[in-house]
Amino acid sequence: MVDAENWDWETGEKEIPFGDWSEKYRWVEEPHVSPDGEKIAAIVNIDEGQFSVCVNGKAWDTVFDKAWNLKFSPSGRLFAIVSEMGEWTVAVDGTAWEKMFGYVWNPIFDNSGEHIAVAFQQDMQYGMALNGVPWEETYNNMTYFALSPDGTRTAAAVQVESADSGQVHKFQEGTFSAALEGKAWEDKFLNVWSLAISPDSEKLAAEVRINLYEYTIAVNGKTWDKTYGSVWEPIFHPRKPSVIAPVRIEGKWTLEENGQPFWERRFVQLWHQKYGPQGGKLAAIVAPKYGKWTVAVDGIPWRITFNELVTDLVFSDDESKIAVVAKQDGKWTIAVDDSVWTNTFDMAWQPVISPDNRYVATKVEKNGAYTIAVNDALWPHSCEAVWEPVFSPDSRKILLKSLEGGTFFRRVIPLTDLAKR
């Protein structure tokens, strides 16, 4: 979670040259910007088989055989997956983990951005590594990864029994389980999918397939008492250990909590459920009718629907406002609390809501260029790239980060200059 209290919120503009980096290096990859807008970074190729990361025009001291998947964490730490002498690891702010692996992928940050986990392969065995420390136990197959909200524990779906393609009977007996900190559940399942770790890091929930036709949710290896035609990804309540998951009953979808009915209404589709930050409200993306998408809040759907897609649902801090990205007839827009913006876009990204709930902003693409929209008003800049806007803690200003004419700009603008009321 971004902590913007100590950032520079003085109204004004800062510039960092970026276009001339291509003159210093053989090539420059896609740029990334820190949450506070003070740094722009990119992977650069120095020479054949020599890669580094350039930050604000200065490269890391360390050179690697290869670097990829560059990202800033929510706290502003910069990391990349890097290779040295045929082995792979993670470099954070230019310093590589001591532990090397055959390969690493799927980086995950905790809420604070201070902890980083990756999946690794070593000698054809698979596990998770957290802040450079790998699981002691490894498995011959691993999918679907999770990091606890506090960054202390990792989990994955793992194969605990070997079976080749001809051993159908063994597959049906169950070869998969879930592992928390490398310790797999005793029970085995046909399949194990999307995982969630509880806020206290003590419980692990997962989608599981019991047999060829029945599905349910398992928590710490114990399945719910009921089975279903299908299930989707479970989530934990942010303040208590209860688990919510979409389940399919008699051809329709609804939400259940700990295996008991939670929402009375059923939908053609229901998924991507999300609690508000305090756990007081629960929203999900639903289809009340086939091909009609919207949001349901505490079981009650919005009146507006969209014929292609609804995604990227976000709550305001006090849970009083919800915003989503929606697609209708090939065009993207933003919907807020059952109302839709008049502007449409070639593409729109996950919106952000100001601390006082008065403003909604998002990165958008329109007519082949990028800009920012706030409360359905467009920032009058056409940019080569923009990054997620950030509201000041007092909701009076907005931080805009953009690439224009080969120069990176960090601007702090009063919201009264930009947004519709």
Q: If we measure between CA atoms, which residue out of 183, 259, 254 comes closest to residue 222?
A: 259
Q: If we measure between CA atoms, which residue out of 181, 92, 102 comes closest to residue 132?
A: 92
163 burial level (CB within 10 Å; 0-12, 13-18, 19+): middle
Q: Are residues 23 and 77 in the same domain?
A: yes
C-alpha 48 chain-centroid distance? 33
Q: Are residues 241 and 384 in the same domain?
A: no
> What confidence tens digit (pLDDT) does each residue in 215-264 have?
999 999 999 999 999 999 999 999 988 999 999 999 999 999 999 999 99
- pLDDT in the model for residue 296: 98
- pLDDT in the model for residue 93: 97
Q: If we measure between CA atoms, which residue out of 126, 133, 177 comes closest to residue 151?
A: 133
The answer, yes or no, to whether residue 100 has pLDDT greater than 80, is: yes
- pLDDT in the model for residue 367: 92
Based on the structure, what is the number of domains in the chain? 3
Residue ending a domain, among 100, 122, 143, is 100
Domain hosting residue 198, numbered range: 109-262
Q: If we measure between CA atoms, which residue out of 378, 316, 385, 310 comes closest to residue 344?
A: 378
Model confidence at 1, pLDDT cuts 50, 70, 90, reads low
Q: Are residues 60 and 146 in the same domain?
A: no
d(CA 150, CA 183): 19
> What confidence tens digit (pLDDT) does each residue in 113-148 have?
999 999 999 999 999 999 999 999 999 999 999 999
The answer, yes or no, to whether residue 421 has pLDDT greater than 50, is: no
- pLDDT in the model for residue 165: 65
Q: Are residues 132 and 252 in the same domain?
A: yes
> What confidence tens digit (pLDDT) does each residue in 106-120 have?
999 998 999 999 999
CATH number of the domain where residue 239 is located: 2.140.10.30
> What confidence tens digit (pLDDT) does each residue in 384-419 have?
999 999 999 999 999 999 999 999 999 999 998 886
- pTM (2 d.p.): 0.94
Q: In a 3-state reduction of DSSP, which class is residue 12?
A: strand
Q: Are residues 45 and 3 in the same domain?
A: yes
Q: Are 305 and 299 in contact (CB under 8 A)?
A: no
Q: If we measure between CA atoms, which residue out of 48, 16, 20 comes closest to residue 32?
A: 16
> What confidence tens digit (pLDDT) does each residue in 307-351 have?
999 999 999 999 999 999 999 999 999 999 999 999 999 999 999
Q: Residue 230 to residues 194, 293, 381: CA-CA distances in angstroms? A: 13, 20, 46
- pLDDT in the model for residue 166: 66
What average pLDDT does range 288-308 have in this prediction? 98
The answer, yes or no, to whether residue 28 has pLDDT greater than 50, is: yes
For residue 232, give both structure tokens: 């989707």
What average pLDDT does range 173-186 have in this prediction? 94
Q: Are residues 91 and 142 in the same domain?
A: no
Show Cβ contacts of residue 329 under 8 Å, excluding neighbours closer than 6 positions.
307, 308
* Residue 272: inside a domain: no
